[in-house]
């Protein structure tokens, strides 16, 4: 799929859509926590982007049905997907509460699995930013949801391309805690066989530090350098976390779809290369 032009809704006007989708995605995380084998990195609660659905999809649930739970972002609808990825049942969330969403998914899973998966959903316990939805508030179909979906879809395509071309890159996953979609690149392995030095590349739809969608590249262990190398695009962040960021407003201002995609690719290439070198430094200063 090609790049979808960004900017129909200004990046700084997407907070409402981001919050609605973030809380809705917790239902998917809860199905992974309740029914899937647990992983130490909590990836059993993670999601992938499904282009056909224009939404986030959780892991296949155990059993012959192999169904998945998805969230179609543009119209904020929960979906129960068959093994072929086609929605079998849908629940538009606008006007409904979070407990209602949980109950509907539980009943849909029970019906799809003929009672084989019949448990109340358990949330993994991630702490989310305060919102009325946590206290009985109702979901709303924010006007920025379709634009938010374009941000996720574009980022997923770019990050998948990066992962395919980069040795040591892991799958592109959306994490329900911070609601970012990212790939973790292992660049050096420790004696225990685990990645000791890594670079992470992803998209945040916005958060407390940057209130708009932004691409980021971070590295671990984080450098303590005060002077950091120049980037092809974007900026270095030093507060709360250390890494490179390309703000959504900069991407939109680049111009047409080709220019937006070109700026994002240039940022990722430059920031990943530079962050890799920083992570591999044995001595920093």
Residue segments in the chain with a per-residue pLDDT below the cut of 70: 1, 190-191, 193, 195, 282-285
Angle CA(164)–CA(218)–CA(239) in degrees, nearest 5?
160
Instruction: Say if CB 86 and CB 79 are below 8 A apart.
Output: no
Residue 285: its pLDDT value, please? 41
* Alpha-helix residue ranges (DSSP H) falling in 36-122: 98-112
Q: Report pTM.
A: 0.96
Question: Which residue carries 């941000």 as its tokens?
Answer: 151
The whole-angstrom distance between residue 63's C-alpha and the CA centroid of its chain comes to 26
Quote the crossing angle between the two packed helices 145-165 and 257-280, to the nearest 10°. Answer: 50
Q: What is the pLDDT of residues 222-255, one digit of tens each?
A: 998 889 999 999 999 998 899 999 999 999 999 9
What residue spans define the domains of the chain?
11-135, 145-280
Residue 66: its pLDDT value, please? 85
Kindly list the distances between the CA atom of residue 121 and the CA atoms of 9, 23, 101, 176, 247, in Å, as whole numbers in the listed order.
Answer: 34, 15, 11, 15, 36
Residue 75: its pLDDT value, please? 97
Q: What is the pLDDT of residues 252-261, one digit of tens each?
A: 999 999 999 9
Residue 283: its pLDDT value, please? 43
Residue 191: its pLDDT value, please? 65
Phi, psi of 244 (to 5 degrees): -100, 145
Residue 25: its pLDDT value, please? 98
Burial tier of 55 (Cβ tally within 10 Å: 0-12, 13-18, 19+): buried
Angle CA(140)–CA(42)–CA(150) in degrees, nearest 5?
40
Residue 282: its pLDDT value, please? 60
Kind of pairing between the strands at 173-175 and 195-204: unpaired
């Amino acid at each position: 799929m090609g790049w979808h032009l960004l900017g129909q809704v200004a990046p700084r006007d997407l907070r409402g859509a981001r919050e609605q989708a973030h809380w809705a995605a917790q239902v998917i995380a809860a199905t992974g926590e309740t029914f899937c084998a647990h992983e130490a990195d909590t990836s059993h609660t993670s999601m992938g982007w499904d282009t056909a659905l224009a939404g986030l999809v959780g892991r296949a649930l155990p059993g012959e049905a192999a169904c998945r739970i998805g969230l179609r972002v543009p119209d904020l609808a929960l979906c129960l997907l068959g093994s072929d990825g086609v929605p079998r049942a849908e629940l538009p969330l606008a006007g409904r509460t979070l407990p209602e969403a949980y109950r509907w998914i539980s009943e849909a899973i029970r019906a799809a699995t003929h009672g084989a998966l019949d448990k109340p959903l358990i949330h993994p316990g991630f702490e989310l930013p305060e919102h009325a939805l946590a206290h009985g508030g109702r979901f709303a179909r924010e006007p920025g949801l379709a634009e938010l979906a374009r941000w996720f879809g574009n980022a997923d395509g770019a990050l998948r391309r990066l992962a395919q071309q980069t040795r040591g890159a892991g799958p592109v996953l959306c994490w329900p805690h911070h609601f970012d979609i990212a790939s973790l690149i292992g660049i050096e392995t420790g004696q225990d066989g685990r990645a000791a030095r890594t670079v992470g590349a992803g998209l945040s739809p916005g958060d407390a530090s940057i209130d708009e969608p932004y691409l980021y590249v971070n590295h671990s262990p984080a450098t303590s350098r005060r002077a950091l190398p120049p980037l092809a695009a974007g900026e270095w962040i030093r507060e709360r976390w250390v890494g490179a960021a390309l703000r959504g407003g900069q991407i939109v201002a680049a111009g047409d779809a080709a220019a937006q995609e070109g700026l994002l690719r240039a940022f990722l290439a430059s920031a990943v290369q530079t962050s890799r070198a920083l992570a591999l430094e044995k001595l920093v200063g």
